[in-house]
Amino acid sequence: MATIDQIMSSEAHTGRDRLALITETIAAHRKRDSDRVVFKTDTARVEYADRTITLDVSDGAQDRLNDVLASFPVFKIEQPATRKAPTGTVHVAAIADPKHIADFIERIFREVYQHGPGYELRA
């Protein structure tokens, strides 16, 4: 497995590679107990820290996020943290293994942020 420093400057362009990047980055983050991990594209950003996923959403994106959350019942919006956050910022409890978190984050980029199948993800 790569070190978190190697992973942190990585990018991926295919679904399979993106899932591997997310999974390895989160596993390394947990092992090293680092502060946070940021996954980003040119137009969107998702942060993972302490078993919480943080993302910014517009009204339309919030509806799409709710649809994705319906497919992943283990992930729940953290109401107190979200209410205290700036408008449009959502905190999602992510108490799951890195593989399931990777699946969820990939769906966020594909469905909530509406990126095509070949989008570039950086960690």
Summarised one tens digit per residue, pLDDT across range 18-73 is 999 999 999 998 888 788 999 999 999 999 998 999 999 998 899 999 999 999 99
Distance CA 98, CA 35 (A): 16
Confidence (pTM): 0.90
**What is the spatial distance between Cα 85 and Cα 95, in angstroms, rounded to a whole number?**
20
Domain boundaries, the chain: 4-115
- Interatomic CA distance for residues 20 and 85, integer angstroms: 30
